[in-house]
Amino acid sequence: MTANLLGGFIQRLDRLRKYGFGSLAIFCEEPKLEVAAVWLFRGADVPEEMQEVDDYTNYNWKKLDHNSAEDKKLVEDYFAWDGSFGGRPAFSQGKIFK
């Protein structure tokens, strides 16, 4: 059900395809799940196409520092779907937006 919610979120982002790339992940197991993602956008800010999607406000957004070794490792973990994911619980499944 959570994977379906992420799939619906990705479907509503069709206008964002030329501006962004995202790796969305689901952590833990039923019934307590956690969703997190790493997004790569063209430009310095979150594009309007992303902000216009209803689900945008359901998530906490944080800008990563590309000079930080910790943030680089986090991006690597999410793009490879392997690693510690910044200390999150066990990886369950994920979706890619491209």
CA gap 98, 89 in Å, rounded:
25
Instruction: Provide the pLDDT for residue 39.
Output: 96
Q: What is the mean pLDDT of residues 50-68?
A: 92
Beta-bridge partners for 24: 37, 95
Q: Where along the chain do its domains lie?
A: 2-97
How does the average pLDDT of the chain come out, rounded?
Answer: 92
CATH number for the domain formed by residue range(s) 2-97: 3.30.70.1010
Q: For 20-51, how does the pLDDT look when each residue is reduced to its tens digit (9 = 90+)? A: 999 999 999 888 889 999 999 998 899 999 99
